[in-house]
Amino acid sequence: MIPSRRAVAAFLAVVGCLSASSAGRVQAAPGIVAIKNVSVFDVTGARMLPGRTVVIEGELIKAVGAAADVPVGATVLDGSGKFLIPGFIDAHVHLVHLADRTHVPGDEFLPMFLAAGVTSVRSTGDAVAGEQRIARFAEEHPETCSRVFMCSPLVDGDPPFHKDVGKGLTKAEEVAPFVEEMKRAGVTTLKMYVGCTREIGRRVIEEGHRQGLVTTGHLGLYAAQDAVADGIDCLEHVWSVLDYSLARGETRVTCDLKNPRAVQLVSAIKEHHVAVDPTLVVHRNMLLLADQPEFNQHPDNAKAPERMREYWQRALQERAFTPETLAERRKELRKYQDVVAELYRAGITLLAGTDSPEPFVCPGFSLHQELELLVESGLPPAAALKCATLNNARIVRAESRLGSVEPGKVADLVLLERNPLEDIRSTRSVAKVIRGGRVLEPGEILGAVPRK
Ligand SMILES: [Zn+2]
């Protein structure tokens, strides 16, 4: 049935009203803001700098200093006893793929990211037309949405593993036009998937780099050793390291990370400056969610719309694990964390990504869980924070604008009540989220998330 013109006009009036009232709740446009006497996280120095004044003008950080002048007319925020850190970036999300299954479109769950202090998200595989619409919506609604860095669909064999979001590429000559199309579409990242061969993968990397795009992979047929030698920029999921480290007869649980294959792979990753995005939180969920209430009833889950929670619950029922396997599953998670520790010790760039909205990987809030898992793996809190800020900014080639609290950068910031260097769980103590100079209340941003 086609609605009448009158019904459409009435609907638009209501929508207009709603957006006007929601705009009234938040700061409509950035002005001049000074945060006085705040401790500022120095990402590269891995420390807090106490007693700083941070001046924001419009979208940008104008000054950071012990004695920075507060400009006339500035809105002054008292930062005493608080901690200012760069806005988080989630390096692994899906805004269209998965969102379809959760029946919650990306524009509806982007506010969850922002309310959790995640001011940017990096997609790692989506249908481009849908992604463009969501990115445009986010651009138009900075008061409720994170910034979106788009990704290609998953470059795969034919037929692709994920029909909705895969792109089967089997002929080398198809690669250049595909990469050009992705560049025109505005993606930052090209992602290769399990059925992508070395022949195609190598071309994706070459053509991607020619176009200034970042290449990453959740690998399968294309071995990590080959992809690293071919110049891939990033490996998604800890599996993309562990599965190619196994000596004959070893499993993910029994793998000796000192075996020659594992040692050589880690040193090749280091030598070729490849970043690794472990996504521990989704792997933990895959292993422990089914029978561990601390995860399937995690308080973060309640923040998601009912439709998303219903999908998660259905997905949970499909996972059958017996209690006898629990010890083995815990060992497997520990091995993933040992891999992360090994990579960190080797000086490899680690990212912080979640794979939200996979089951119970709650948009935004799961990044805090990922940080906790990184610290549990052996990273100092400052290093984990660097993964989720500067390292993630670098992997979307936005480090000149994002990822640290420095003059000239975009004012994407989080003001915390407690010091995350003392306890990483303090990243959850979000007092304000600042997105492009707009000072926002987390509770009000969450108000933009539908409950149903
Ligand atoms: Zn993913």
Q: Is residue 451 part of a domain?
A: no
Give me ligand 1 centre to Cα 355, in Å.
5
Better-scored residue on pLDDT, 329 or 18: 329
* pLDDT band (50, 70, 90) for residue 181: very high
In percent, the amount of the chain with pLDDT more than 90 equals 83
Quote the CA–CA distance of 273 and 290 in Å, as a whole number.
Answer: 36
Q: Is residue 230 part of a domain?
A: yes
Mean pLDDT of 318-336: 91
Give me ligand 1 centre to Cα 322, in Å.
26
Q: Is the pLDDT of residue 291 over 70?
A: yes
Q: Is the pLDDT of residue 16 over 70?
A: no
Q: Is residue 349 part of a domain?
A: yes
Strand partners, 275: 234
Q: Are 84 and 413 in contact (CB under 8 A)?
A: yes
Residue 99 confidence (pLDDT)? 81
Mean pLDDT of 148-166: 95
pLDDT digits (tens, 9 = 90+) for 339-361: 999 999 999 999 999 999 999 99
Q: Is the pLDDT of residue 398 over 80?
A: yes
Give me ligand 1 centre to Cα 97, in Å.
9
Q: What is the CATH number of the domain that holds 364?
A: 3.20.20.140
Give me ligand 1 centre to Cα 57, in Å.
36
Mean pLDDT of 408-413: 98
Give me ligand 1 centre to Cα 50, in Å.
38
Give me ligand 1 centre to Cα 377, in Å.
21
Give me ligand 1 centre to Cα 180, in Å.
23
Q: Is residue 27 part of a domain?
A: no
Q: What is residue 281's three-state secondary structure? A: helix
Mean pLDDT of 306-316: 90
Peptide bond before 359: cis, by omega within 30 degrees of 0?
no
Give me ligand 1 centre to Cα 215, in Å.
14
Residue in this structure with the two tokens 């975009």, named with its chain if needed: 410
Q: Is the pLDDT of residue 317 over 90?
A: no
pLDDT digits (tens, 9 = 90+) for 69-99: 889 899 999 999 999 999 999 999 999 987 8
Residue 21 confidence (pLDDT)? 34
pLDDT digits (tens, 9 = 90+) for 94-119: 999 878 778 888 888 999 999 999 99
Give me ligand 1 centre to Cα 230, in Å.
22
Give me ligand 1 centre to Cα 338, in Å.
21
* pLDDT band (50, 70, 90) for residue 397: very high
Mean pLDDT of 175-184: 98
pLDDT digits (tens, 9 = 90+) for 244-287: 999 999 999 999 999 999 999 999 999 999 999 999 999 999 99
Give me ligand 1 centre to Cα 161, in Å.
13
Ion ligand 1: residues, CB within 5 A, are: 355
436: left (phi over 0), alpha (psi -120 to 50) or beta: left
| Torsion angle of the four alpha carbons 11, 17, 18, 19, in this order, in degrees rounded to the nearest 10 | 110
* pLDDT band (50, 70, 90) for residue 230: very high
- Label the pairing between strands 47-57 and 214-217: unpaired
Q: Is residue 161 part of a domain?
A: yes
Q: Which residue range is the domain that position 371 belongs to?
A: 88-400
Give me ligand 1 centre to Cα 2, in Å.
38
Give me ligand 1 centre to Cα 100, in Å.
14
Give me ligand 1 centre to Cα 9, in Å.
40
Residue 29 confidence (pLDDT)? 63
Residue in this structure with the two tokens 């979106």, named with its chain if needed: 148
Give me ligand 1 centre to Cα 292, in Å.
23
Strand partners, 75: 33
Q: Is residue 71 part of a domain?
A: no
Residue 102 confidence (pLDDT)? 83
Strand partners, 236: 277
Q: Is residue 303 part of a domain?
A: yes
Q: Is the pLDDT of residue 6 over 90?
A: no
Helix/strand/coil (H/E/C) assignment for every residue in 323-385: HHHHHHHHHHHHHHHHHHHHHHHCCCCECCCCCECCCCCCCCHHHHHHHHHHHHHCCCHHHHH
Domain count along the chain: 1
Q: Is residue 423 part of a domain?
A: no
Give me ligand 1 centre to Cα 152, in Å.
12
Give me ligand 1 centre to Cα 358, in Å.
8
pLDDT digits (tens, 9 = 90+) for 32-54: 999 999 999 999 999 999 999 99
